[in-house]
Amino acid sequence: MLRLTLALALVASPALASNERAFAPNPDGTTSFIMPSGNVGCTYIPAGGTPVYQTMTGMAELHCTIVEPVYTTVVLEAHLGAPQPIRGGEAPGLPMAGALPYGSFWQAGPFTCLSSRNGLTCTNASGAGLRMARAGVVTW
């Protein structure tokens, strides 16, 4: 009986898929990653925010930034619809973070992001999302 219970526990325990990547949280509780190109990066902000940043709705947010061709940031909220790109004149750069390899995905809270050679695609629990690539930024 103990063997059967242990076998069922091993089968039922969640494991990272071979192409899923996880990143250690930053000291402030956020989690960041960049694309292998170094042109796109995202920071996950957990529900409630951080000691220095409170999310607008109190829910989790995903802040994604592309540097080239036009520095643009998109804030994807946990359950809200289409985000609006924010174009900035000053480019502070991307977070210092691990790379999300092409063909891999990352997920936390209500967000899932897929890295490909054609860009980064992220969605929230409601299906709203963004796509960032040198060809441009698209939100839905």
**What does each of the 140 residues of the chain score in pLDDT, given as a tens digit?**
433 332 333 333 345 678 999 999 999 999 999 999 999 999 999 999 999 998 888 999 999 999 988 889 999 999 888 888 887 655 567 878 999 999 999 999 999 999 999 999 999 999 999 999 999 999 99
Handedness of CA 52, 84, 123, 116 (dihedral sign): negative
| Angle, alpha carbons 66-22-43 (nearest 5°) | 30
Q: Which domain holds residue 65?
A: 21-139
Domain total for the chain?
1
Across-strand partners of 26? none
CB neighbour list of residue 123: distance below 8 Å, 6 or more residues apart: 76, 111, 112, 129
Q: Is 98 in contact with 109 (CB distance < 8 Å)?
A: no
Residue 56 forms part of a structural domain: yes
Q: What is the pTM of this model?
A: 0.82
Q: Is 60 in contact with 53 (CB distance < 8 Å)?
A: no
Residue 132 forms part of a structural domain: yes
